[in-house]
Amino acid sequence: MHTLRYAPIPASFYADRRDKLAAQLPAGSLVIIHANDIYPTNADGTLAHHQNANLFYLTGIDQEETVLLMRVMDDGSHEDTLLLRETNEHIVIWEGARLTKEMATQLSAIDDVRWTDEYNSLLAEWVPAAKEIWLEQDNHPRRNTYVQTRNARMEAALLAAYPDAKVKCLYDTLAAMRMVKTEEELVQLREACRITGEGFVEVLRSIKPGMGEWEMEGLLSSAYIRRRARKFSFLPIIASGKDTCVLHYISNHKRCEDGDLILFDIGAEYGGYAGDMTRTVPANGKYTPRQKAVYEACLAVHRYAFSIMRPGLKKSEYERLVRVRMAAELVKLGLLTQEEVDAAPENPLCVRKYFMHGTSHSLGIDVHDVGPLDIEFAENQVWTIEPGIYIPAENIGIRIETDVVIHADGAEDLIPNAPLEVADIEALMQ
Ligand code: GLY
Ligand code: MN
Ligand code: MN
* CATH code where residue 350 lies: 3.90.230.10
Asked whether residue 307 is assigned to any structural domain, the reply reads yes
- 120 and 213 belong to one structural domain: no
Question: Residue 196: left if φ>0, alpha if ψ -120 to 50, beta else—which one?
Answer: alpha
Beta bridge partners of 68: 33, 82
Q: How far is CA 283 from the centre of its chain?
A: 28
Task: Decide which of 123, 158, 179 is a domain's last residue.
Answer: 179
Phi, psi of 133 (to 5 degrees): -110, 120
Question: Would you say 62 and 107 are in contact if contact means Cβ atoms under 8 Å apart?
Answer: no
Question: Based on the domain organization, do 116 and 245 belong to the same domain?
Answer: no
Question: 399 CA distance to ligand 1 centroid (A)?
Answer: 10
**Statement to judge: residues 266 and 346 lie in one domain:** yes
Q: Which of 265, 356, 402 to mutate to test the pocket of ligand 1 (most atoms within 8 A of CB)?
A: 265
- Ligand 1 in reach of 234 Cβ (< 6 A): yes
The reply to whether 94 and 243 lie within a common domain is no
Q: What is the pLDDT of residue 77?
A: 98
* Residue at which a domain ends, from 134, 157, 179: 179
The reported pLDDT for the residue numbered 342 is 98
- Please report whether residue 384 resides in a domain: yes
The number of domains in the chain is 2
| Closest among 71, 166, 65, 169 to 118, alpha carbons compared | 65
Residue 6 lies in a domain: no
pLDDT of amino acid 118: 98
| CA–centroid distance, residue 386 to ligand 2 (Å) | 7
Q: 277: CA distance to ligand 1 center in Å?
A: 8
Q: What is the pLDDT of residue 1?
A: 59
Cβ-based neighbours of 160, under 8 Å, separated by 6 or more? none
Same structural domain for residues 33 and 50? Answer: yes
User: Do 230 and 162 belong to one domain?
Assistant: no
User: Are residues 114 and 49 both part of a single domain?
Assistant: yes
Q: Which ligand is nearest to the CA of 362?
A: 3
Long-range (24+ apart) CB contacts under 8 A made by 329-334 are 329/297, 329/298, 329/300, 329/301, 329/389, 330/297, 330/354, 330/355, 330/389, 332/297, 333/293, 333/294, 333/297, 333/389
Q: What is the pLDDT along the chain (430 residues), one digit of tens a residue?
A: 577 788 899 999 999 999 999 999 999 999 999 999 999 999 999 999 999 999 999 999 999 999 999 999 999 999 999 999 998 888 888 877 789 999 999 999 999 999 999 999 999 999 999 999 999 998 888 888 889 999 999 999 999 999 999 999 999 999 999 999 999 999 999 999 999 999 999 999 999 999 999 999 999 999 999 999 999 999 999 999 999 999 999 999 999 999 999 999 999 999 999 999 999 999 999 999 999 999 999 999 999 999 999 999 999 999 999 999 999 999 999 999 999 999 999 999 999 999 999 999 999 999 999 998 889 999 999 999 999 999 999 999 999 999 999 999 999 999 999 999 999 999 999 9
Q: Whose alpha carbon is nearest atom 3 of ligand 1?
A: 276
Tell me, yes or no, whether 97 and 204 share the same domain: no
Instruction: Answer yes or no: is 335 within a domain.
Output: yes
Atom of ligand 1 nearest to the CA of 266: 1
Determine the distance separating the centroid of ligand 2 and the alpha carbon of 245, expressed in angstroms.
14
Q: Are residues 152 and 293 in the same domain?
A: no
Q: What number of other Cβ atoms are within 10 A of residue 354's Cβ?
A: 23
The pLDDT value recorded for residue 142 is: 84
Edge-first strand order for the sheet with 231-232 is 231-232, 268-270, 273-274
Q: Tell whether 390 is covered by a domain.
A: yes
Domain limits for position 28: 11-179
Collapsed DSSP state (helix, strand, coil) of residue 284 = coil
CB of 358 closer than 6 angstroms to any ligand 1 atom: no
What integer pLDDT is reported at residue 58 of this predicted model?
Answer: 98
Predicted pLDDT of residue 24: 98
Beta carbon of 217 within 6 Å of any ligand 1 atom? no
Q: Could you give the 3-state DSSP secondary structure of residue 303?
A: helix
Q: 289: buried, middle or exposed (CB in 10 Å: 19+, 13-18, 0-12)? A: exposed
User: Burial level of 187, CB count in 10 A (0-12/13-18/19+)?
Assistant: middle
Q: Which ligand has an atom closest to residue 278 CA?
A: 2
Q: Pocket of ligand 1, candidates 232, 244, 276, 383: which has the most ligand atoms within 8 Å of its Cβ, to mutate?
A: 276
What is the Cα–Cα distance from 348 to 312, expressed in whole angstroms? Answer: 23
**5 in a structural domain:** no
What residues contact 43, with CB distance under 8 A and at least 6 apart? none
CATH code assigned at 93: 3.40.350.10
CB 369 less than 6 A from any atom of ligand 1: no
Task: Please indicate, yes or no, whether residues 231 and 314 belong to a single structural domain of this protein.
Answer: yes
Nearest CA to ligand 1 atom 5: 368
366 lines ligand 1 (CB under 6 A): no
Question: Is 3 contained in some domain?
Answer: no
Q: Give ion ligand 3 contacts, CB < 5 A.
A: 276, 384
Expressed in angstroms and rounded, the spacing between residue 277 Cα and the centre of ligand 2 is 5
Cβ atoms < 10 Å from Cβ of 159: 14
Separation of CA 161 and ligand 3 centre (Å): 41
Q: Which ligand is nearest to the CA of 234?
A: 1
The whole-number pLDDT of residue 331 equals 98
Domain boundary among 153, 179, 205: 179
CA 385 to ligand 1 centroid distance, Å: 10
Q: Is residue 38 in some structural domain?
A: yes
The pLDDT value given to residue 88: 83
Q: Which atom of ligand 1 is nearest to the CA of 265?
A: 1
Statement to judge: residues 84 and 114 lie in one domain: yes
Are both 271 and 370 inside the same structural domain? yes
